[in-house]
Amino acid sequence: MHAHYQPLGVSDRPAETSAPSARPDVRRDLNGLRGVAIALVVVFHIWMGRVSGGVDVFLTLTGFFFTASLIRTAQSGGSLNPLTRVGRILRRLGPPLVLVLMGIAVATVVVLPRTRWADVGDQLVSGVFFFANWELAWTSQDYLAADPTVSPVQHLWSVAVQFQFYLLAIAVVFGLSALLRKSRGGGRTSPHPRLFLVLFAGAALLSFVYAADGATRLQSWNYYDTGARLWEIMTGAALAALFAARASTAPTQESRPRRAALTVLAVAGLGAIVGCGFVLDGVQKFPGPWALVPVLATIALVLAGPQTPVARVLSTRFGLWLGSIAFPLYLWHWPILIFWLSVSGESSASIPAGTLIIAASVVLAMVTVRLVEKPLQAPTWTVPRITITAVATSMAAAVIAGSVGWNFYIDRTVAQLQASDSSDLSTHPGALVMTDGALAEDADATPALFSAPEDLPITTIEGCIADFDTSEVISCEYGDPDATRTVALAGSSHAEHWITALDLLGRQNGFRVVTYLKMGCPLTVGTMPMLGDAEYPGCLDWTQAVLGDIEQTHPDYVFTTSTRPREDGPGDYTPDWYVQVWADLSAHGVPVLAMRDNPWLERDGIAYRAIDCLADGGTATSCGMPRANALDPLDPALAASFRFPSVLPLDMSKALCDDDICRVIVGNVLIYRDEHHLTATYMRTLTTELGRQMAAATGWW
């Protein structure tokens, strides 16, 4: 969201440009378009809960503005020192960004529970070093509509992508120009812009194909992926190269039909940009082929030129003012929205609240421009410029030090947890309170809230679960590896967390556990599985491979989940595609141990972490869920499995809920490590009850 690079004809430093007479006219209308794009982003984030396409407009303009500046510098014989250009970018982007990051850090400490500090800290560091998009992708942070649980730095993915493009564009334009100057003894300053046009257009095409493919495989990753996003920026870069290649062409006289056609093009372009968010779900569609709508609409406005009525509207004083605060407005609006939702407890912003959020964002954006950005534009090292640079550097260091220090403390806590794989059942009986009537005196819950997210099953720690983008079947062995009896544990992470108890039972009762696990992928046949709102074809392929392996190895039992929470109401159900899996396994004579899934924590349709609720002052009961909201009165798998005698339902809900409530702490043991996965510590206390149910089902002991 760089607010300072100007369109064709404006350089960063006048000394690096050619004579003024050779410079194209300034495109003031595109500065106004930048403001319109960010205004759409803000409005859609606050009130629509959707992606507007405004960021895609901004990405395209970024490629256009920045590449034009680089080509002009190279053609005019200006300095090709990449460090100078990168330093200039950091001077303009860095201080406003760091100011916002410091504000987010302070607000996080004041507003958010301490259990969220580590995650936000990692994201703040990624924001400082411009890799926020990868941090969000690596930690599987889907791009979500605003709610109190969403990251306050989620929007910085686009700033990171732009900065990464800046580095790439500098390397290409300045690198090739430097090679040419060196090889020709300085006789020619840069390659012909047609070369850059071919390079950027080719890169855009490759990136577009990559993005289209990524949308069919894993959209949550594709949304943040630099490789998938580059085509939007590269399209603008290619257009800048095209303009530079045609710079020597004499302007043509604009006839009335041509002016009318350009006006129609501009109106269509602006209409497409304004209407894009109402028609397209950008979270699911972008940066795939549907992102052509905002990108081509932006290109249309660039090509229509500065003389259309649309351009004159965009060039008004209001439009230019909006463009001038676009970058800081984008930076400020999202964290203000997220922290307001956290403080108010609301799931979305009302009209009055949203208006106040916009007003606060605009005021902060104007202050940022006045006190931070403008002083930094001074051509020499003035006192304000030196002061702002020093303060911004100190703030960045403080954000990094605070985040790294807190995470070091958390890592020590996690290391202590993983060093011990058992709890004292006399003080921390966990599920035994529910299943065996054990008594538990008051004691601190284990695992500690900070370390709970890392209280993981052994399969995750040892890399024995395929990630979202891995299609190969990963198989590991646990329990008694020398046993002749075998249980195949197959499915998603909700099947995976039972490995802790199955491993213990296997060693105690002489059976081997072979794992077939993939993130977000319960066994599915006949129906396209979904990952959130996106299709997950890799899961379908993986399931087929797993079932083929199971049918060949023929284990004694397949252990997998049998239910899921309803998406359109309270309770749980058995999906038809689970039943189809049972039918396939039954046809091959492989019996199934069908485990009812645990309750998923959510309120008013929004998932929440037990540890955040507890850290915010909640109790085991208040942070839990009414049983009627989470589970049907009877295990749905009982009816669903009626036609398959070899499908044996298992139901551990009495170890997770009583008649009225599903608590988040039982017997001084924390049940959940996130919104819906069980801690390995609590799972160990479930071993006794699981052993009883498996013994009754299998007759093995």
Q: How confident is the model at residue 3, as a pLDDT?
A: 39
Neighbouring C-alpha atoms within 13 Å toward the C-beta of 54: 26
pLDDT at 610 over 80: yes
Neighbouring C-alpha atoms within 13 Å toward the C-beta of 168: 19
Q: How confident is the model at residue 531, as a pLDDT?
A: 83
For residue range 633-675, list pLDDT tens digits in order: 999 999 999 999 999 999 999 999 999 999 999 999 999 999 9
Label residue 411 by pLDDT band (50, 70, 90): confident
- The encoded tokens of residue 695 equal 């013994």
pLDDT at 615 over 90: yes
Q: What is the mean pLDDT of residues 282-302?
A: 95
Mean pLDDT of the chain: 91
Q: Which amino acid is at 46?
A: I
3-state SS, residue 188: coil
Instruction: Give the closest residue to 316 by CA, choosing from 326, 303, 327, 306.
Output: 306
For residue range 665-682, list pLDDT tens digits in order: 999 999 999 999 999 999
Q: How confident is the model at residue 5, as a pLDDT?
A: 37
Percentage with pLDDT > 90 across the chain: 80
For residue range 115-148, list pLDDT tens digits in order: 999 999 999 999 999 999 999 999 877 787 788 8
Q: What is the mean pLDDT of residues 584-604?
A: 96
Per mean pLDDT, which range of 74-83, 187-196, 363-372 is the poorest?
187-196
Q: How far is CA 46 from CA 350, 418, 480, 603, 656, in A?
A: 9, 41, 55, 20, 37
pLDDT at 424 over 90: no
Q: How confident is the model at residue 674, as a pLDDT?
A: 94
Count the Cβ atoms, other than its own, within 10 Å of residue 374: 14
Q: How confident is the model at residue 14, as a pLDDT?
A: 37
Per mean pLDDT, which range of 39-48, 212-221, 428-437, 516-525 is the poorest?
212-221
Our CA angle for 588, 592, 597, nearest 5°, is 140
| Torsion (CA) 280, 285, 291, 294 in degrees, nearest 10 | 20
For residue range 50-103, list pLDDT tens digits in order: 899 999 999 999 999 999 999 999 999 899 999 999 999 999 999 999 999 999
Domain ranges in the chain are 14-247+258-401, 423-698
- CA–CA dist 610, 452 (Å, integer): 10
Q: What is the mean pLDDT of residues 443-469?
A: 92
Q: How confident is the model at residue 73, as a pLDDT?
A: 94
pLDDT at 8 over 80: no
3-state SS, residue 475: strand
Label residue 537 by pLDDT band (50, 70, 90): confident
In the chain, % helix, strand, coil (3-state, to 5) comes to 60, 10, 35
- CA–CA dist 619, 610 (Å, integer): 9
- Tally the residues of the chain: 701
Label residue 253 by pLDDT band (50, 70, 90): low
Q: How confident is the model at residue 678, as a pLDDT?
A: 97
Chain centroid to Cα 155, Å, comes to: 9
Q: What is the mean pLDDT of residues 326-338?
A: 98
Residue 337 burial (C-beta neighbours within 10 Å; 0-12, 13-18, 19+): buried
Per mean pLDDT, which range of 165-174, 372-381, 496-505 is the poorest?
372-381
Q: How confident is the model at residue 547, as a pLDDT?
A: 97
Label residue 18 by pLDDT band (50, 70, 90): very low
Q: What is the mean pLDDT of residues 434-458?
A: 91
Q: What is the mean pLDDT of residues 331-346?
A: 95
- CA–CA dist 274, 52 (Å, integer): 8
For the chain, the C-alpha Rg in angstroms (whole number) is 29
Label residue 13 by pLDDT band (50, 70, 90): very low
Count the Cβ atoms, other than its own, within 10 Å of residue 514: 20
Give me the DSSP letters along 626-658. EHHHH--SS-HHHHHTTT-TTEEEE--GGGT--
Label residue 1 by pLDDT band (50, 70, 90): very low
Q: How confident is the model at residue 185, as a pLDDT?
A: 62
3-state SS, residue 24: coil
Q: What is the CATH number of domain 423-698?
A: 3.40.50
pLDDT at 15 over 80: no
Residue 90 burial (C-beta neighbours within 10 Å; 0-12, 13-18, 19+): middle
According to DSSP, the residues that pair with 446 across neighbouring strands are 669
Residue 627 burial (C-beta neighbours within 10 Å; 0-12, 13-18, 19+): buried
Give start and end residues of each alpha helix (H) in 420-478. Answer: 432-435, 458-461
3-state SS, residue 99: helix
For residue range 550-589, list pLDDT tens digits in order: 999 999 999 999 999 998 889 999 999 999 999 999 999 9
